[in-house]
Structure 1
């Protein structure tokens, strides 16, 4: 039995703004912390790569989950890899921070900025997809016919 069609509603402007703010604040603050950190360049590269990997895996997982809800085929291996990638990025950040010679407040700063970035990326991607789906279903309401 196919999954029921997903009927997206247009997200509110406030939720769209809050999602972008969460992504931007989390990522910019995390990167500012790295820029100003007193650590070797290879350590900064490690934490930067973890942020990029985490953002990509979170968005990819969100897309896979949404595709499955909408009845779009997603292979089990890809879906599983998305979950493993997200878990791995969080685990690698945890291990890195656990073993880092940083103050506890700095470790918490990086962890919270990282998680805020992941949440923001998922919410932004969801909003973009919801708005696109809403526009295609309701061009007369949202002005998509003019585009």
Structure 2
């Protein structure tokens, strides 16, 4: 079956999606950290929320990578995948319990929760885009940023 001229090249995310993913990650992480910096809480509480935030980002990135590796038949041990999922669930649980017990306004709790969730989603999207772009560059080594095809050639 011949490829349609309107079918995009598989594995190459659009510039808009790549940009939106980076903006979402930057925005989510920066508002979370700035909010934490300005919060009226003990330094130990700030440290807890920052550590849980960083754990969540790393765990979400690890889960995305391990799942993608398995989908592409790259060996991933069950132990690594299990630990990645466990750490993501631990980060989500710790954030939920921490916010539930924090002496913050409900709006502040929502602010941190949304910043956390937005950053977790965005880090997964950024990792996916980085990997998709790398795969595209391997498949099309002669394509420069100016002449990379948006659609497959009709050849």
Per the normalisation by structure 2, the TM-score is 0.86
Instruction: Report the equivalent of 2:151.
Output: none
Residue 58 (str. 1) matches residue 56 (str. 2): no
**Take 1:117 and 1:105, find their aligned partners in 2: how far apart are those partners?**
18
- Asked if structure 2 preserves the Cα contact closer than 8 Å seen for 1:67 and 1:73, the reply is yes
Gaps of at least 5 residues in structure 2 are: 1-8, 146-155
Residues 1:15 and 2:17 are matched in the alignment: yes
C-alpha distance in structure 2 between counterparts of 1:137 and 1:85, whole Å: 34
Distance 1:103 1:142 in 2: 51
Counterpart for residue 75 of structure 1: 77
Which residue in the other structure is 1:37 paired with?
39
- Residue 9 of structure 1 deviates from its aligned partner by 1.5
Q: Deviations over 1:16-70 (max 9, x none)?
A: 0010011000000000110000000000000000111000000000000000000
Q: Is the 8 A contact 1:8 1:133 kept in 2?
A: no
Q: Matches of 1:92 and 1:8 in 2, distance apart?
A: 38
Is the 8 Å Cα contact of residues 22 and 120 (structure 1) preserved in structure 2? yes
Aligned pair count reads 137
Show structure 1 runs of 4+ deviating over 2 A. Answer: 140-143
Aligned match for 2:97, one of 78, 95, 98: 95
